[in-house]
Amino acid sequence: MLTMKSVVVFVVIVVVSQDISAEPRYRCPNKRYIRLANSCYLLSGEIATWQEAHFRCRDLDAQLAVLATEYEDSSLRNYLEKRELAQLGRWIGGMWAQDHWIWAAQGTEIDNRRAFVSSSAQHLSSADQWMCLYMDSRNRYRWANENCIRQLHYICEAPLTRTRIGHLNRTSTVIYATNNNQ
């Protein structure tokens, strides 16, 4: 004689995946920075010597602003000229090194000569030690040189950080099957 037994089947499927096709997003380190083109800039609220400003930027994982292209320079100059901002001279990352201007963080020579207030600032003598660059608010934020021990506001520059904004996709399937034949 044949007997039928009860069959109970439970199937539970849970799939959690992340959408990796999401576009990468770029953002500044925090809300104190402003984003201009592909860089982030922090305008200091305090004054410091050039060297103090250099290390304060380093403490923020940044550097004194390096405006290596005319586009970077003009973007920042246009931003600083906004009426709602205080018109202040601000240190940037250039300094005089014996016979030429360099971006101190990289040690590379500055070749953007058009940004200087005057041509005399481009070429100093070897006696002009301790000279650093700042953006001069009195001259539409063109670059000028000043003794590095003067206290000014400063501009830190940090790179954009890449983040992925993904969405979690959840799929849940629950199947209950019963067969109660007796």
pLDDT, residue 169, reads 47
Rounded Cα distance between 53 and 55, Å, is 5
Residue 78 lies in a domain: yes
Residue 114 resides in a domain: yes
Torsion of CA 37, 131, 86, 139, to 10 degrees: -80
The total number of structural domains that make up the chain: 1
- What CATH number does residue 74 fall under? 3.10.100.10
- Residue 3 within a domain: no
> What pLDDT does residue 5 have?
56
Kindly report the pTM of this predicted structure.
0.73
Q: Can you give the residue range of the structural domain that contains 69?
A: 26-165
If you search the block for the tokens 């953002």, which residue do you land on? Answer: 27
Amino acid letter, 43: L
52, 60, 76, 117, 175 from 56: Cα distances, Å = 6, 7, 20, 26, 61
Q: Name the residue among 153, 147, 38 with its Cα closest to residue 88.
A: 153
The whole-number pLDDT of residue 163 equals: 81
Q: Is residue 173 part of a domain?
A: no
SS (H, E, C) 73-106: HHHHHHHHCCCCCCCCCEEEEEEEECCEEEECCC
Q: Is residue 41 classed exposed, middle or buried when 0-12, 13-18 and 19+ CB atoms within 10 A define those classes?
A: buried
pLDDT at res. 90: 97
User: How far is C-alpha 67 from the geometric centre of its chain's CA atoms?
Assistant: 13
Question: What is the DSSP-derived secondary structure letter of residue 116?
Answer: B
* In contact, 99 and 41? CB cutoff 8 Å: no
Instruction: Write out residues in the chain with pLDDT < 50, as ranges.
Output: 7, 9-17, 19-21, 167-178, 182
Query: Would you state the pLDDT for residue 178?
Result: 46
